[in-house]
Structure 1
Amino acid sequence: MCRQVAANDLLVPGSPLPAEENDTSAKGGLAGWQLRKVIRHVEDNLGHSLPCYDLAAVARLSTGHFCRAFKTSMGEPPHAYVIRQRIRRAQTLMLHTEDTLSEIACMCGLTDQAHLTRLFRRIVGSTPKVWRTRWRAQLG
């Protein structure tokens, strides 16, 4: 029997909660509608460049104000959130496709396989190849 992989199974324990679960509005943070729009924009555009000024425009704020408010709301800067979401997407693709790691890196908006490996190792603690092999063996 295959075990279902939940979003919380991806990444390492103690990583910040996904935005959907982090529903509290902190003073000085983004309004709920702003946070939802930005998160949706990130999800829909992970394969492309996502500079802070684009995210700020989605939230209708200046770049500086957006970055401060995003960090207050999410507990991490926008760039770190985008990188974490790219790694999460890469993990999902590694489990559910036969695509090569270089193809997955491009689909996740990273420059190449080396870029994916560097970020993946920093965030998850192992290389994508080792992680993929281990998880596929566990899932059967």
Structure 2
Amino acid sequence: MKKTILYMVVAVTVLWGGCRHGKKTQVSPQPPATEIITPLPPEQPPAALIGGYTKDQIYFKVQIGAFVVPVAENDAFFTNVTGEEIRIDISPQGMYRYTVGRYNSYEQADLIKAELKRRGYTDAFVVAYGYDDKRIEMPMPELLKLYNSIK
């Protein structure tokens, strides 16, 4: 019986104390929490690379010859190249490669190539270079497939 009375006293004390002797506690309504959501910028796809360059970093030239020894500037080989700057580039194998022009599109370079072939440079072909004047060593059909697939 003593245990029962003790439990009742504890229970009444807890209940009565929780009510603060009959006083009401006012609770102020809180505005709902607002969260500012900052939209993320649209994710940019990585720039497509062609031989380590983006499409806008590539330009085209026409190669008219490659030789083991350099060709003199006044050599007859160059007589049919008019109006175009001839550049010399040494390949990794030590060959002297002679190129003409600097074109923003393959189509422009291909037109010049056709004209140079008509003038006698039958081995002329289009080559691609990066913005840093390094030749892109990739087969042209593969390069063009990548180049044309990029918007």
TM-score (norm 2): 0.30
Kindly indicate which of the two structures has a greater share of residues assigned to strand: 2
Q: Name whichever structure is richer in helix by fraction.
A: 1
Please give the TM-score of this superposition, normalised by the length of structure 1.
Answer: 0.31
